[in-house]
Structure 1
Amino acid sequence: MEAPPLQRKLAAILAADVEGYSRLMHIDEERTLAMLTSHRTIVDALIESADGKIFGTAGDSVLAEFPSVVQAVNCAIAIQIAIARANVNIPVENRMTFRMGINVGDVMVKNGDIFGDGVNIAARLETLSDIGGICVTRGVRDHIRDRVEVIFEDMGEHSVKNIARPVRVFKVVFDESYHPILSAARQIDTPGTDITLVAENDPTEVAFWESIREDDDGTELRLYLERYPNGTFSDLAVARLDREPTPVDDPAVEVTFWESVRDSENVAMIRAYIEQYPEGKFLSLAKILVEQKAS
């Protein structure tokens, strides 16, 4: 058989990984999977809006390429700001944060995957960044100097695994009030956790999920995955299918439901929580939110 064509090109590569993912999974697998799904909804939407293309999404990692270095850096900043805002009401020990690295270099594309030193360097930079931070190479810094409203702190040269020469690394320092332009065609505003790029959770999907939470043989979970293969609770559904049946009164289900509706502008979704959990742990807050949104 003829080998698939190998394409080489110059690209801006963003690599991201969840900090402390194994620790979060050890503490509460279901809550962590639900939060990862929620955060990835934000991340994926911002990458798409910056004209980026996602290549790798294994576990808690993200790998994307961009046609512009400026768009890659602006997208990374937008993601870190949005995730920080999404974490505001979550206890510090349960927050899910990302480290990010960006490189510009020659990459190879084959069979729908991307690889090469350009990708490897971006992945190594991610491990050098602060929690919630971004690290870039000197090439990235030189490309966007004076074109993005950030400060670059020189971290010196670092020897990274499987790369022959040391890499000059810079930390990106940005203000949380900065509104990055993600696309040449439009500016994306990220004023709060209810990011306009991210569609609100479908009330029908939430209602469907709640109706099957007592599934004891996996039949309805599989039906949910068939109807919503990329749904808000798809990772959670897959995890449950791989485990023993979940108790009917499992508090993790209530937490997941609440986290899926608490930031919604749709009052009906918050009322759905009140009806489902008349003695729920978030009942008082839910009633306050309903009153605020109704006024």
Structure 2
Amino acid sequence: MNEPQQKWTETIEDKHSLFDLKLREVWNYKDLIYMFVKRDFVSSFKQTVLGPIWFFINPVLTTIVYLIVFGKIANLSTDGAPPLLFYLAGVTLWNYFAGALTGTSYTFAGNAGIFGKVYFPRLVTPISIVISNLMRFGVQMLLFIVVWIYYLSKGEVHPNWWVLATPFLILLMALFALGVGMIFSALTTKYKDLNMLLGFGVSLYMYATPVIYPTSALSGIFKKLAYYNPLTGVFECFKYAWIGVGDFSPMMLGISTIIILILLAIGTLVFNKVEKTFMDTV
């Protein structure tokens, strides 16, 4: 009597394209992504007094410091926009990018224990980090909108239809953080001191990005270099859309999109290559 032929539900293969994101496999593990997002959210405020209120406190305090230091003391231009709203817009966007990038860069080093015990698409982890930071961004964006409505009622801001591009701008920041984060997560499996360099680099990068100043305040070579900063188009478009100020052009956003997609491709290549052997070096 012939035995029924077995059908395998999962096939683990050793060889795959370096540019293969395995998106279908990642989708099959969407419940795991949800669990990781929930874990990150809960662990962030476990054993804290104020809990999720820190989502609001962080951007408020940071904005106040920028308002005093860069607005009052340094007297930096805000292109005529209300300084409080201008800095809050920059802080809201920057907090999301910096948090997503830093968290993604620890993908291999921070999850080596899990990766060594059970198989699942490694891309699940950085994606969950990007999404969990997106939840924090949503709360801080709500704070920005409340302040924005106040100034809108006073006629001090002039939004336009580019507001509709906001989801695309958020996607660009997420892809940029994902791409660069995957590069650093791969490199730190072998060179652990890059984690310290990344923290320092992120702080410096903020000053190379129009977070606390508009690009109209730049001139010469600095302004030309700013156009090739992937975040310049994102930040300028956001401020132009919601506040009605800034030196924004569609070409600027197009340059940002192209550079971000290139970095995402490089990050995918490096990540897929390292994930096969990272347990030997982490």
TM-score by length of 2: 0.26
Structure with greater proportional helix content: 2
Q: Which has the higher contact order (CA 8 A, sep 6+)?
A: 2
